[in-house]
């Protein structure tokens, strides 16, 4: 085979050197009778001849030995040469002839997909998937340009960089190109012949949505989810999602974005009938049988006909893959991961990296880790790696005792002194400042928001990063958050005092003594939601609407209801104060309440449904605290002079008040730096809008999957949509894959057995970390997203992947809580202690292992969760 164009049906799996991997795979499917869209292959030899004709080899000299900046420039120049050169006339004619064959006997022209298909000849294991481009919706007159783009993608910085790393001769790589009819699908999806999450070979999982498949694989829509048994293709599970967006088969003239809103009537409609789901599963199993390993197939249904677009082996990324290629020892940064378990998007990750100075903190596959090596240098402890990792990871209520290293002590003291010099002023400025000192940050945030001179980076620097010399301390919220670290020291001091003078008190005595702090903004936010519920109760029409409609629909209904004016006014006031908050609020991609108040309305609805009064909890808590104080005083009376001057009680009270002071500072500073993140999000969205207007970005939300240097280059016009489209797609897919796993707690170091917590200690018992004491037995209710699943019946055990303030209303009705991540100081633990309910955190995969409806026994004292055999039953 030379440069002649090949029909897909003429290619077989052995033709990788000619047709590239993708071409050979598709040809094999066509040859075996799979319903694959027709197409042809421009062979790799054509690419080779084209490169020879333009004397590309002259530009390749020394490409391995230059800096990455220079290499990028050279790559850009090479791509430009390829794009500007004309391919041989003979080739152009052959391509047009092949296209003519494709459209023979058709009424009209067709749109095609032009896909890079890398050859692996002479390169052993190496290939270039993920680095090369694919173009969709290509019309006949764009073929040559797009084919040249595919060839040029051999000279993308990623591909060149990879070849340099692997020592592959640049002159030896060529590219075949597959041109295939675009299937204008009504429904499309992905099917896995083994469950990619659980690994079960008995299940076939299909995800489908309206329109083209890009929206699913890119993670832009939540698809319908079907699980079938392999034996007999019996439907085991069906979850119909609300499909808000789709990539339509045809783009309207002048359409700015490919992602369109799905008409309302179609949003909740199932995309596949049972028969169709069965057909899809059957084809997937046939592909698996043919290829001999579990497959992940992409498919489409157009005009009732099934088409297979791609079949590839399932690659299930394991836990260890997250740490692949990472050298050193790292422990996950728990304060971040305990608020939400998903990895950060690339842009959010970059922003974090800018604020948190590497190398102490490092972002690994979207999760923030702390370097053990650098922390070890800062801590004066003599301890094995495992214990140190446990100490850093644990953040338990009672940290293990560690021996001080005398050798390191002088260096640590010097370090401490330098730290004091560096942060002493900040610490002194915040020592006794009134609680409302950060309120002015709101004005600063508004000014930065309104000022177009502040781009995202400038906004980040101004609001969340480095302070100015003459900034009031209230404007330095992130530094204030850092200075509130004294909370932990004061708490430890309090614990020591209590253990010394009153050792027999209840397990959560210190936490209880420090509860009931006034002026905590997130607690006030909870009260604000409760006040909204009270207002809704006053208006029967409002209450009815809130109970009748789903939270994302009810706002429009409320606006049309004349009696809802007061409620809406109150909602506006609430959002003016708390609108920057959101679920997963540390993620820039997270939609804020101000942008979509549905989660707030959902929480109000939850309050209405359960008829609970949070003030009762507060009163109960206050009473318990007063009783505890009385008990402590009584216990102290046995010590000398205590009856007379109460010196020990005064000291304990002082330590508790300082702990409360810094705890409030910590919580409130978080409230404000979330506000800074919202301003940053707004700046990024404005930039995205601008890039979309210029055609450099096509879909909303894609901007979060760019890295900051790419965004800078896009803004400068050095990168365009074609440069980033593939990267964004890859990153979205990887993000979805990573979101389905729990990040490893440590990398390069193992936690000791006590902290590793094998999640099945005995029988059906899961072990975690105790965050709030007490025992409780009740029915489990697994909630993955409080914005969509908010109805927790009184007494049910809340089982959640993580919690943040948006979850608080659910704690009101829960009998106990079991959370996948977290620590003693995490939100779940704090709220559970406030409400006096047992809580076990850090229970790996509990949302997958526990099913709603099973009976659970939660032992908050020992961090144990037991799955009882029987289902149903009432909470005790």
Partner 1 sequence: MTVIIWIALFLFGMALAVQLVASLYGPLDYSYTIKTAYPKVMLRILVWGGLSAALALLLGGRYRAAFLWGLGAYVVSYLLSYQATKLMLKRNLRLLDREWRAGRSCRAIISTRRETDISQDSLGSADRRF
Under the criterion CB under 8 A, does residue 433 sit at the interface with partner 1?
A: yes
Under the criterion CB under 8 A, does residue 260 sit at the interface with partner 1?
A: no
Q: What x-and-dash track marks residues 471-510 binding partner 1 by CB under 8 A?
A: xxxx------------------------------------
Residue number with CB closer to partner 1 (67 or 273)? 67
State the nearest-atom distance from the C-beta of 194 to partner 1, in Å: 15
State the nearest-atom distance from the C-beta of 588 to partner 1, in Å: 15
Pick the stretch among 26-34, 86-94, 782-790, 809-817 that binds partner 1 (CB under 8 A). Answer: 26-34
Q: Which residues contact 321 (CB under 8 A, 6 or more apart)?
A: none
Choice from 20, 39, 380, 597 touching partner 1 (CB under 8 A)? 20
Residue number with CB closer to partner 1 (479 or 856)? 479
Under the criterion CB under 8 A, does residue 279 sit at the interface with partner 1?
A: no
Place of tokens 């010097």: 414
Under the criterion CB under 8 A, does residue 440 sit at the interface with partner 1?
A: yes
Pick the stretch among 119-127, 217-225, 336-344, 543-551 that binds partner 1 (CB under 8 A). Answer: 119-127
Under the criterion CB under 8 A, does residue 466 sit at the interface with partner 1?
A: yes
Cβ count within 10 A of residue 649: 19
Q: Which residues contact 724 (CB under 8 A, 6 or more apart)?
A: 697, 702, 706, 710, 714
State the nearest-atom distance from the C-beta of 369 to partner 1, in Å: 14
Binding positions for partner 1, 321-380, rule CB under 8 A: 321, 324-325, 350, 353-354, 357-358
Size of the site for partner 1 (CB under 8 A): 77
State the nearest-atom distance from the C-beta of 68 to partner 1, in Å: 5
Residue number with CB closer to partner 1 (355 or 591)? 355
State the nearest-atom distance from the C-beta of 551 to partner 1, in Å: 37
CB 673 within 8 A of CB 479: no
What is the rounded CA–CA span in Å between residue 803 and residue 796? 16
What is the rounded CA–CA span in Å between residue 824 and residue 451? 41
Cα Dmax for the chain? 106
State the nearest-atom distance from the C-beta of 673 to partner 1, in Å: 17
State the nearest-atom distance from the C-beta of 727 to partner 1, in Å: 9
Output b/e per residue, 369-383; b: 16+ Cβ within 10 A.
Answer: bbbbeebbeebbeeb
Under the criterion CB under 8 A, does residue 612 sit at the interface with partner 1?
A: no
Under the criterion CB under 8 A, does residue 158 sit at the interface with partner 1?
A: yes
CB 675 within 8 A of CB 441: yes
Under the criterion CB under 8 A, does residue 201 sit at the interface with partner 1?
A: no
Choice from 99, 128, 393, 705 touching partner 1 (CB under 8 A)? 128
Choice from 79, 243, 286, 849 touching partner 1 (CB under 8 A)? 286
Q: Residue 713 belongs to what H/E stretch?
A: helix 708-715
Under the criterion CB under 8 A, does residue 117 sit at the interface with partner 1?
A: yes
Under the criterion CB under 8 A, does residue 9 sit at the interface with partner 1?
A: no
Question: CA angle, corner 516, sides to 514 and 520, nearest 5?
Answer: 100
Under the criterion CB under 8 A, does residue 623 sit at the interface with partner 1?
A: no
Helix/strand number for the chain, H first, E second: 34, 27
Say whether 700 sits in a helix, a strand or coil: coil
Omega cis (within 30) before 359: yes
What is the rounded CA–CA span in Å between residue 389 and residue 247? 46
Choice from 118, 347, 523, 816 touching partner 1 (CB under 8 A)? 118
State the nearest-atom distance from the C-beta of 478 to partner 1, in Å: 12
Binding positions for partner 1, 403-422, rule CB under 8 A: 417, 420-422
CB 445 within 8 A of CB 676: yes
State the nearest-atom distance from the C-beta of 321 to partner 1, in Å: 8
User: Which of 820, 814, 817, 765 minimizes the C-alpha distance to 790?
Assistant: 814
Under the criterion CB under 8 A, does residue 425 sit at the interface with partner 1?
A: yes
Residue number with CB closer to partner 1 (55 or 417)? 417
What is the rounded CA–CA span in Å between residue 822 and residue 836? 18
Under the criterion CB under 8 A, does residue 383 sit at the interface with partner 1?
A: no
Under the criterion CB under 8 A, does residue 164 sit at the interface with partner 1?
A: yes
Token digits of residue 678: 């919202």
State the nearest-atom distance from the C-beta of 53 to partner 1, in Å: 27
Distance of CA 529 to the CA centre of its chain: 26
* The dihedral sign for the CA sequence 514, 520, 525, 530: positive
Binding positions for partner 1, 693-752, rule CB under 8 A: 707-710, 730
Strands (DSSP E) contained in 681-796 are 746-747, 765-767, 769-772, 775-782
Residue number with CB closer to partner 1 (193 or 772)? 193
Pick the stretch among 468-476, 523-531, 566-574, 760-768 that binds partner 1 (CB under 8 A). Answer: 468-476
Under the criterion CB under 8 A, does residue 434 sit at the interface with partner 1?
A: yes
State the nearest-atom distance from the C-beta of 707 to partner 1, in Å: 5
Please name the residue ranges forming H helices in 502-640: 509-513, 521-538, 540-548, 551-560, 565-578, 598-610, 614-636
Residue number with CB closer to partner 1 (162 or 493)? 162
Choice from 65, 107, 125, 869 touching partner 1 (CB under 8 A)? 125
Q: Which residues contact 330 (CB under 8 A, 6 or more apart)?
A: 362, 364, 369, 370, 371, 372, 746, 747, 748, 749
């Amino acid at each position: 085979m030379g440069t002649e164009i090949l029909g897909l049906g003429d290619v077989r799996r052995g033709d990788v050197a000619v047709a590239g991997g993708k071409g050979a795979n598709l040809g094999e499917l066509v040859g075996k009778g799979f319903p694959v869209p027709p197409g042809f292959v421009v062979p790799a030899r054509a690419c080779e001849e084209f490169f020879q004709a333009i004397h590309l080899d002259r530009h390749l000299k020394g490409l391995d030995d230059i800096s990455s900046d220079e290499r990028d420039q050279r790559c850009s120049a090479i791509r430009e040469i390829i794009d500007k050169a004309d391919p041989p006339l003979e080739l152009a004619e052959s391509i047009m002839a092949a296209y003519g064959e494709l459209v023979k006997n058709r009424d009209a022209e067709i749109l095609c997909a032009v896909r890079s298909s890398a050859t692996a000849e002479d390169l052993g294991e190496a290939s270039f998937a993920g680095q090369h481009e694919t173009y969709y919706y290509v019309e006949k007159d764009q073929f040559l340009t797009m084919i040249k783009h595919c060839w040029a993608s051999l000279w993308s910085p990623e591909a060149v960089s990879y070849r340099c790393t692997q020592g592959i001769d640049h002159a030896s790589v060529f590219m075949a190109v597959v041109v295939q009819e675009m299937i204008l699908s009504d429904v499309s999806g992905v099917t896995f012949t083994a469950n990619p999450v659980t690994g079960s070979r008995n299940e076939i999982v299909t995800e489908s949505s309206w329109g083209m498949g890009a929206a699913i694989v890119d993670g832009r829509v939540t698809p319908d989810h079907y699980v079938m048994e392999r034996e007999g293709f019996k439907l085991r599970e069906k979850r119909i999602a609300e499909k808000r967006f789709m990539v339509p088969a045809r783009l309207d003239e002048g359409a700015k974005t490919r992602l369109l809103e799905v008409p309302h009537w179609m949003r909740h409609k199932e995309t596949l009938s049972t028969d169709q789901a069965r057909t899809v599963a059957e084809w997937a199993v046939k592909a698996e049988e043919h290829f001999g390993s579990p497959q992940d197939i992409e498919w489409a249904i157009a005009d009732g006909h099934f088409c297979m677009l791609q079949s590839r082996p399932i690659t299930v990324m394991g836990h260890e893959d997250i740490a692949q290629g990472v050298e050193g020892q790292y422990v996950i940064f728990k304060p971040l991961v305990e608020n939400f378990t998903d990895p950060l998007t690339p842009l959010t990750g970059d922003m974090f990296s800018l604020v948190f100075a590497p190398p102490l903190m490092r972002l690994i596959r979207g999760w923030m880790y702390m370097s053990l090596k650098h922390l070890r240098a800062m801590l004066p402890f003599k301890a094995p790696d495992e214990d140190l990792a446990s100490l850093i990871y644990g953040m338990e209520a009672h940290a293990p005792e560690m021996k001080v290293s005398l050798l390191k002590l002088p260096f640590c003291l010097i370090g401490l002194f330098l730290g004091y010099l560096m942060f002493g002023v900040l610490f002194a400025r915040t020592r006794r400042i009134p609680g409302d000192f950060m309120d002015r940050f709101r004005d600063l945030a508004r000014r930065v928001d309104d000022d177009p001179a502040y781009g995202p980076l400038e906004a980040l620097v101004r609001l969340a990063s480095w302070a100015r010399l003459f900034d009031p301390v209230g404007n330095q919220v992130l530094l204030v958050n850092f200075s509130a670290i004294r909370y932990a020291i004061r708490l430890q001091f309090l614990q020591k005092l209590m253990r010394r003078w009153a050792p027999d008190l209840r397990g959560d005595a210190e936490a209880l003594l420090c509860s009931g702090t006034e002026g905590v903004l997130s607690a006030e936010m909870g009260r604000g939601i409760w006040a909204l519920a009270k207002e809704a109760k006053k208006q029967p029409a409002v209450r009815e609407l809130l109970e009748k409609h789903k939270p994302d629909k009810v706002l429009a209904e409320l606006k049309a209801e004349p009696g809802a004016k007061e409620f809406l006014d109150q909602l506006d006031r609430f959002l003016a104060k708390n609108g920057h908050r959101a679920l997963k609020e540390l993620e820039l991609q997270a939609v804020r309440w101000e942008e979509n108040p549905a989660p707030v309305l959902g929480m109000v609805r939850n309050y209405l449904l359960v008829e609970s009064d949070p003030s009762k909890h507060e009163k109960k808590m206050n009473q318990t605290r007063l009783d505890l104080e009385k008990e402590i005083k009584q216990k102290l009376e046995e010590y000398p002079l205590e009856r007379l001057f109460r010196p020990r009680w005064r000291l304990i009270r002082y330590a508790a008040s300082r702990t409360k002071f810094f705890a409030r500072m910590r919580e409130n500073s978080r409230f404000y730096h979330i506000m800074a993140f919202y301003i940053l999000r707004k700046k990024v969205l404005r930039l995205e809008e601008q890039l979309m207007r210029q055609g450099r970005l096509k879909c909303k939300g894609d901007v979060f999957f760019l890295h900051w240097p790419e965004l800078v280059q896009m803004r400068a016009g050095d990168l365009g949509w074609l440069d980033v489209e593939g990267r964004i797609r890859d990153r979205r897919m990887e993000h979805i894959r990573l979101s389905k796993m729990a990040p490893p707690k440590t990398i390069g170091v193992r936690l000791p057995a006590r902290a590793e917590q094998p999640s099945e200690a005995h029988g059906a018992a899961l072990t975690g970390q105790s965050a709030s004491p007490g025992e409780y037995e009740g029915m489990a209710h697994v909630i993955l997203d409080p914005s969509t699943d908010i109805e927790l019946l009184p007494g049910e055990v809340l089982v959640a992947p993580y919690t943040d303030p948006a979850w608080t209303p659910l704690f009101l009705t829960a009998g106990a809580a079991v959370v996948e991540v977290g620590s003693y100081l995490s939100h779940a633990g704090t709220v559970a202690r406030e409400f006096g309910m047992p809580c076990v955190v850090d229970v790996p995969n509990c949302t997958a292992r526990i099913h709603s409806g099973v009976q659970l026994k939660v032992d908050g004292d020992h961090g144990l969760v037991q799955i009882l055999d029987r289902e149903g039953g009432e909470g005790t």
